[in-house]
Structure 1
Amino acid sequence: MILPSASPLAWLLALATAVAYALAAAVASRAKAEHGHLAMAPAWTLHAAALAWGLLGSTPHFGFAAALSMTAWLVLTTYAVERQLFPQMRTRWALCALGGVSVLLAALFPGRPLHVSASPWLPLHLTLGIACYGLFAAAVVHAGLMGRAERQIRLAADSNSGIPLLTLERLTFRFVSAGFVLLSATLVAGWLFSEQLYGRAWLWDHKAVFSVLAWITFAVLLLGRSRFGWRGRSAVRVLYAGAALLLLAYVGSRFVLEVVLRRAI
């Protein structure tokens, strides 16, 4: 089956967003720390418009690339909020690259059309899942900053993260906790209301198996932290493992169907 292609307007929005992110990365690297984040506002707005067109346009689509693009946008939104508290955060270049690549991927692989006969509760279910992805992605970003800060401290150098190490650790696990709650809600909704959402009973397919494995991994991580005080590299490795399993659950399975097997259903 031939995969659907993005509309001309979707491509225009994607290209404009990618250019805006590139400009933001260039400008932010030269601007003062307290003003550099303003360069990302136009790109963030265009990214939101591209996402809205993909879901609300003449032919709404959704797929693995759209999920990645929404996740990137949520991470950028989290960054924008945190910069109000920690103006010295220095991750703009990497996040601009993440946003630009993800929005172009969403235009290149727009995914399957959302049928009008779908359940009215399906958008809520998708929203829970994407919000879950966004929270765990934010946790992974903060875990990466935490690891870099620890290495810099061992070398007696400036951590360059702009956030104290203990604050980074607290933020990381707050995102994990919130993501775990949403992941639990998403799995329960999919299990109990699968027939209403998708017109079929719950299936133990790749998406379900990887999602449950991710849930178990995050549950072990939170239990280990609360009962045994897990922290540092060991906890971060478990976080990365759970995030990888969650990525394989929807994004990985849809990538195989849409790109490898060339199927839009």
Structure 2
Amino acid sequence: MTTLFALISIALYLMAMFVLVGRLFHKNGPNKTFALSLAALGSLTHLLYLAEAIMGVPGQNMSITNVLSLVAWLITVSMLISITVLPNVMLLPGVLGFAALSVAAVLFIPAEHIMHIELQPGLLVHISLSLFAYGTLVIAFLYALQMSYITHRLKQKEATFIHSSMPPLMLVEGILFKLLLVGTCLLIVAQITGFIFLENMFSKLYAHKTVLSLAATAIYILLLVGQKIWGWRGKQVIGLTVLGLALLSLAYFGSRLVREILL
């Protein structure tokens, strides 16, 4: 049954993605109601599959593939919930495609990292905050890509195309900085809880993760300060957003990818 949930989830995500992509640039736009219904059902079956994949063992299997798929689920649900107030239709196909790939990764790439989070409430707080921070900053990265694309089209003097199929640049930019602020605050609090509840943040096994995540936090803080004080926009913002997420991804997944998948 769990494998069936995974296959159904992948199929629904891909169907929703193709419904959106097929008429993304049509003057009437895609059939959002149908696509979002498919995506919502996909996220439900995705959750059912993840529940078994993570909780179906003694303890919790927080393998790299399970965590990545959980992050993909959080991002997908956040985007679906926010679609009524945020301009994210252009971003949804990529999000849904990533979610489908993450389910396939759990299904076809076996990995195991057993934890007993129920015995360490502080660890649960730290992991939850870290996941929400990462998910928020990934969404910010997507909006940075959208902002870059809109800026490029405007420079090419294709304003008619922009206004007919994309949100205004200033709206996307405003959402981007709000997401960066929220994600950075969550990341800082997650790191504080790590230092409070964990005793091995600078041990040989986790030192690189701590250093990289602190470096990513410094990048995001610099970005927000630069925007507030010096009015940074455009390339500086996009470049630092990409760099911050790259460092954070290496911190969260780099060594685990080697240990759990490659070795």
Judge same fold: TM > 0.5, yes or no: yes
Give RMSD over aligned pairs.
2.2
1:21 aligns with 2:23: no
1:246 aligns with 2:248: yes
Letter in 1 for 2:239: R
Task: Return structure 1 stretches of 4+ with deviation > 4 angstroms.
Answer: none
Instruction: Provide the rounded CA distance (Å) in 2 between the counterparts of 1:21 and 1:235.
Output: 31
Instruction: Provide the rounded CA distance (Å) in 2 between the counterparts of 1:86 and 1:185.
Output: 26
Instruction: Provide the rounded CA distance (Å) in 2 between the counterparts of 1:161 and 1:216.
Output: 35
Partner of 1:149: 150
Aligned pairs for 1:68-147 within 5 A = 68-86=68-86, 89-107=89-107, 108-115=109-116, 118-147=119-148
* Structure of higher RCO (CA pairs closer than 8 Å, 6+ residues apart): 1
Q: For residue 156 of structure 1, give the secondary structure of its aligned residue in structure 2.
A: coil
Letter in 1 for 2:180: V
- What's the offset of the Cα at 1:66? 2.1
Instruction: Provide the rounded CA distance (Å) in 1 between the counterparts of 2:209 and 2:88.
Output: 39
Moved more, 154-163 or 215-224: 154-163
> For the structure 1 residues 161 and 252, does the alpha-carbon distance in structure 2 shift closer, same or farther, using more than 3 Å as the test?
farther
Q: What is the TM-score when the length of structure 2 is the normalising length?
A: 0.85
- What's the offset of the Cα at 1:202? 4.3
Partner of 1:3: none
Aligned pairs for 1:1-265 within 5 A = 9-28=1-20, 29=22, 31-59=30-58, 60-86=60-86, 89-107=89-107, 108-115=109-116, 118-157=119-158, 158-159=161-162, 162-195=166-199, 200=200, 202-203=202-203, 205-260=207-262, 262=263
Deviations 1:14-57 (Å, cap 9, x if unpaired)?
Answer: 22211221222233435524543222111111122222223332
Instruction: Provide the rounded CA distance (Å) in 2 between the counterparts of 1:98 and 1:84.
Output: 21
Letter in 2 for 1:20: L
Instruction: Provide the rounded CA distance (Å) in 2 between the counterparts of 1:34 and 1:88.
Output: 14
- What's the offset of the Cα at 1:207? 0.8
Letter in 2 for 1:150: T
Stretches of structure 2 lacking an aligned partner (at least 5 in a row):
24-29
Deviations 1:86-115 (Å, cap 9, x if unpaired)?
Answer: 578233322221110011223324431123
Percent pairwise identity: 26
Moved more, 138-147 or 30-39: 30-39
- What's the offset of the Cα at 1:180? 0.7
How many residue pairs get matched? 249
| Counterpart contact for 1:214–1:246, Cα < 8 Å | yes
> For the structure 1 residues 222 and 235, does the alpha-carbon distance in structure 2 shift closer, same or farther, using more than 3 Å as the test?
same
| Counterpart contact for 1:62–1:113, Cα < 8 Å | yes
| Counterpart contact for 1:76–1:95, Cα < 8 Å | yes
Moved more, 250-259 or 138-147: 250-259
Q: What is the TM-score when the length of structure 1 is the normalising length?
A: 0.85
Instruction: Provide the rounded CA distance (Å) in 2 between the counterparts of 1:206 and 1:38.
Output: 42
